[in-house]
Amino acid sequence: MNLADIQSNTSQWSLVVHKVSQTTVELWAGTLFGTLKKPQHAKILVKQNNDLIKTIDITLDQWQRPFAQIKHQRFYVFTSVDGLQAGQNYQVEFYRQLDLPEYADQWQLLRDAVFSTLPNALPTDAEGAFTIGLGSCFYEHRDGGQAAASYKALYDRADKIWQPDISFLVGDQVYLDIGFDSLSPITKEIRQRVADDYAKHWQALGSILSRGGTWMLPDDHEYWNDYPFYDTFVPTLVMLQVDYVRRAWTSTAKDGVENVQRSAKVDIFSIGNDVSFCVADLRSYRSKTQFIDQQGFAQMIDWAEGLTSPGVLVIPQILVNGKNKVERNLLSFPSQYNRLLTALASSGNDILVLSGDVHYGRIAQVKLGDNGAKLIEVVSSPMSNLTGFNSIATDTAKSSPEYFPDPKSLNKPSLTPQKVDYSDNYNVKSRRGFPGSAYWKKRTREHFMTVSLSKDSQGVKLNVEAWRVRQRDSKTNLPVKDFDHSFIATLNKKID
């Protein structure tokens, strides 16, 4: 880890590149810590090839509170920049003006960032690839900046095919429900704990959040285990039975999802006519009968049924799964689950699912419906494992269910169940655990994945690799690849 990595992991300022399009970028700048002073004057510079193309001036009255009920010094500005060019690289710098009389004309660089806009079309196989970074489940406690430093090394120095253009962080970027301080009945303490958890996690993730456009989806630990339900017995969550505690926790957690992670209910975008993306929050809008509200579900169904190219569905819980007997998963909502599968199969275009949550990494393939499509699901979890007592939630890759949709979990599957193709070659490897250590049981190695897309005569070429967060190549200092060979497949378009 070099000096730049250390500075990124210790700075209390954040500069986050949120989603990008062919012509726009969304930027978040500020601090989640309660110890810094609001600048009277600040600015964000957007550059291309180090030539200034946009200046965003920030005055004292423009700072916003990320958590509405916390009146301390945590503050941010969110801005969108348009007029950019497709498929181009840009640089961002975040400054404050020093308000001491002897330094009145000087500006201090607080953070910098880089990103590229979406291309108008996927590159050909000969030209390179459009690459997605995929990760989930980040627990800051024993990470020590390693996830962000590994990602930064890959982004800055790896072969172009492995350098992420954008990233999807698909859930549990923070763990708000870990620790016995969650038993507090004092609403002020609850709100401060949520904000402090965000501050620590965003500091540790800084070199990821400032490199390329990043879409973030919440899962349950952005709220609490099995959110929005609180009938699962977890000792540290007993205070959720108290109405005013639950209301304070919920409202502050929602502020984090909406104001810090900037998670949309459903976000749909395309790269030319080559591939279409649907990024859906299947956690925040749950009820007893649905994993997303009717408006969001209608958007997902319209997207799936209207596909004219391969589709990429980005969600915070895995689709190829059996029903969980302890907590709710997508199969706990059979009506929407079955309807979604029918829609995904309807166009005959291949579907790539990107997800996380389950504390293991693996790739599964299966036939999807009767129109010639297949589904490939890539799961990446965790970036940083839980520790101590909570490490009992760590896991290793599973080759289940045998069939998809799983007939053991659904009374009437909407599609004919097909045998799922799993390969041990694409299960992220594991490490042993020891009682009394930081990790009590066997666990999947910390990792993130890269998902590279390009086009050839057959369709959209898919190339997937898993990267170990805590192990570096001695010659290149890049994170070590976990798979012995990259996963390669083709996403086919329906031929009429």
Residue-averaged pLDDT of the chain: 95
pLDDT over 70 (residue 8): no
Parts of the chain belonging to CATH 3.60.21.70: 119-491
- Where would I find the beta strands (DSSP E) of 315-406? 351-355, 362-368, 373-379, 403-404
- Output the six-digit token pair for 175: 């763990």
Strand pairing category for 373-379 and 351-355: parallel
pLDDT over 90 (residue 374): yes
What is the Cα–Cα distance from 387 to 126, expressed in whole angstroms?
44
Of 1-5, 111-115, 137-141, 336-340, least confident by mean pLDDT is 1-5
Parts of the chain belonging to CATH 2.60.40.10: 1-118
Q: Which CATH superfamily is 1-118 part of?
A: Immunoglobulins (2.60.40.10)
pLDDT over 90 (residue 104): no
Q: What's the chain's length in residues? A: 496
Q: How many CB atoms lie within 10 A of CB 47?
A: 17
Question: pLDDT per residue over 174-209, tens digit each?
Answer: 999 998 888 899 999 999 999 999 999 999 999 999
Reduced to 3 states, what is the DSSP secondary structure of residue 337? Answer: helix
Look at residue 2 in the predicted model and tell me its pLDDT: 45
Look at residue 182 in the predicted model and tell me its pLDDT: 87
What is the Cα–Cα distance from 311 to 376, expressed in whole angstroms?
11
What is the Cα–Cα distance from 465 to 313, expressed in whole angstroms?
18
φ/ψ bin of 165: left (φ > 0), alpha (ψ from -120 to 50), beta (otherwise):
alpha
pTM: predicted TM-score of the whole model, two decimal places: 0.96
Cα dihedral across residues 156, 162, 168, 171: positive or negative: negative
Q: Determine whether 447 is exposed, middle or buried from the number of CB atoms within 10 Å of its CB (0-12, 13-18, 19+).
A: buried
DSSP one-letter code for 130: E
- Output the six-digit token pair for 135: 């990760």
Look at residue 233 in the predicted model and tell me its pLDDT: 81
Across the range 300-313, mean pLDDT stands at: 98
- Where would I find the beta strands (DSSP E) of 303-436? 311-314, 351-355, 362-368, 373-379, 403-404, 418-419, 421-427, 430-431
Across the range 156-163, mean pLDDT stands at: 94
pLDDT over 60 (residue 6): no
Query: CB-hemisphere CA count at 13 Å for 276?
Result: 21
- CA distances (Å), 18 to each of 167, 225, 316, in order? 9, 26, 17
Question: pLDDT per residue over 377-430, tens digit each?
Answer: 999 999 999 999 899 999 999 999 999 999 999 999 999 999 999 999 999 999
Across the range 307-319, mean pLDDT stands at: 98
- Output the six-digit token pair for 253: 């957690």
Look at residue 9 in the predicted model and tell me its pLDDT: 62
Distance separating the N- and C-terminal Cα atoms of the chain: 52
pLDDT confidence tier of residue 1, bands split at 50, 70 and 90: very low
Strand pairing category for 130-135 and 51-59: unpaired
Reduced to 3 states, what is the DSSP secondary structure of residue 321? Answer: coil
Residue with tokens 């959209």: 460
pLDDT over 60 (residue 149): yes
Q: 119-491 in CATH: which number?
A: 3.60.21.70
